[in-house]
Structure 1
Amino acid sequence: MFQLGKTIVSEEIIENDFVCNLSACKGACCVDGEAGAPVEDEETQVLHDIYEDIKPFLRQEGIDAIEEQGTFVKGWDGEWETPLVNESECAYVTFSDNGTALCGIEQAYNAGKVNWKKPISCSLYPVRIKQYQEFAAVNYHKWHICDDACSLGKELQIPVYKFVKEALIQKFGEAWYAELEQVAKDMYR
């Protein structure tokens, strides 16, 4: 672990390789698991505000879950997250003709209907951020359903932090990311 400003960062985001391999996993991270995608406090209002604009992009099962549970829910850990359909897939997920999970929010964004792509936690994955009172922990979340992404990342030699560069900059800023890059260079001299 090392510190960058008010973050404590795991070396694993530098040491491990990762590139999403959607053709192999079919978006399993949006379907498997015990909870919805983490949603930050300020994102709860965004989800509420854009719901009607993204609704046409969602499946009926997702709409039903959202209208029953809300646009976001409090998880077992007390944190906000997206609601689930049948305690399984994210309520905002849709499926392509070949069964690949897609994000209905992102589809609305790509169609120009909303100006918010999706929760930052989704863009950051496999990096997970845990906010504490004095700092944020930046960790790598290893999950067996992403083994193909790890293999592809290794083949392409792309470390986790480079794969999620845009999301890390969105979350922490350009200067923070530049410091992270310097730490990575120093680690592998």
Structure 2
Amino acid sequence: MIAIDHVLLSDEIVEENFLCDLNKCKGGCCVDGDCGAPITHEESMIIAQLYPKIKPHLEPAYLDEIERQGTHTTDPEHGLVTPTVNGGICVYGYTDELGIVKCGIEKAWKEGHINFRKPISCHLFPIRIVSNPGYELVNYEPRQSLCKPACKQGNKLKVPVYKFLKDALIRKYGEEFYDTLSAVADKMKADKKY
């Protein structure tokens, strides 16, 4: 376990390798799950406010679900989440010309229509965060079969999870946090702990 300030990270975040292989998984993390993506209260408000600018980037059939369920919903286990279509794909997902599911929110961000990239839980995947009073648990939780190509590609190219998720970790915790994590990873490697 790695402790930085109020954050406890599993060792796997520096020990394991991961690099998304969208040609193999086809963006399945936006489709497969118990519910939609977990979002914070602040993110739910941002998405609701930006929805008119996100809407043009979404599948017409999914817009019906948003009209029916709202821009976010509540799951008994995970709290606030993005809605899904019949318990499957996230309503903010779309399928590109290669059959890869991508994020309509992120598409609107990339095209400069909004200044919010996507929910942090999506940006950090395959890391999952559990918030507790006074601290957060940060765990590496790839999907066993869905993420197998990403694990294989990460091992082949030797890309540790924390390096793959550098932008997301900096977005969540800041540059100083990431620099500390990187230094801890270097020390662990030097000590030959993995």
- Taking structure 1 as the reference length, the TM-score comes to 0.97
Q: In structure 2, what is the equivalent of residue 177 of structure 1?
A: 178
Instruction: Show the 5 A alignment for 1:94-133.
Output: 94-133=94-133
Q: How many residues align?
A: 189
Identity of aligned residues (%): 42
- Given the alignment of the two structures, is residue 28 of structure 1 paired with residue 34 of structure 2, yes or no? no
CA deviation vs aligned residue, 1:42-69 (integer Å, no higher than 9, x gap): 1111000000111111012211111111
Q: In structure 1, what is the equivalent of residue 50 of structure 2?
A: 50
CA deviation vs aligned residue, 1:78-116 (integer Å, no higher than 9, x gap): 521110011100000001123210111111112211111
CA deviation vs aligned residue, 1:136-187 (integer Å, no higher than 9, x gap): 1111012120100001101110000000011101101111111111111111
**How far apart in 2 are the matches of 1:168 and 1:47?**
21
**How far apart in 2 are the matches of 1:136 and 1:65?**
32
**How far apart in 1 are the matches of 2:83 and 2:147?**
22
1:33, CA displacement in angstroms? 1.4
Output the amino acid matched with 1:60: P
**How far apart in 2 are the matches of 1:55 and 1:75?**
23
- Taking structure 2 as the reference length, the TM-score comes to 0.94
8 A Cα contact 2:84 2:90, kept in partner: yes
Q: Over aligned residue pairs, what C-alpha RMSD do you find? A: 1.0
**Unaligned runs of at least 5 residues, structure 2:** none
**How far apart in 1 are the matches of 2:2 and 2:97?**
44
**Unaligned runs of at least 5 residues, structure 1:** none
Output the amino acid matched with 1:137: L
Instruction: Show the 5 A alignment for 1:9-158.
Output: 9-143=9-143, 144-158=145-159
Output the amino acid matched with 1:148: P
8 A Cα contact 2:129 2:136, kept in partner: yes
Structure 1 residues 30 and 181: alpha-carbon distance in aligned structure 2, compared to 1, 3 A threshold: same
**How far apart in 2 are the matches of 1:135 and 1:53?**
35
Runs of 4+ in 1 over 2 A off after TM superposition: none
Residue 147 of structure 2 aligns to a residue whose secondary structure is helix
Output the amino acid matched with 1:158: V
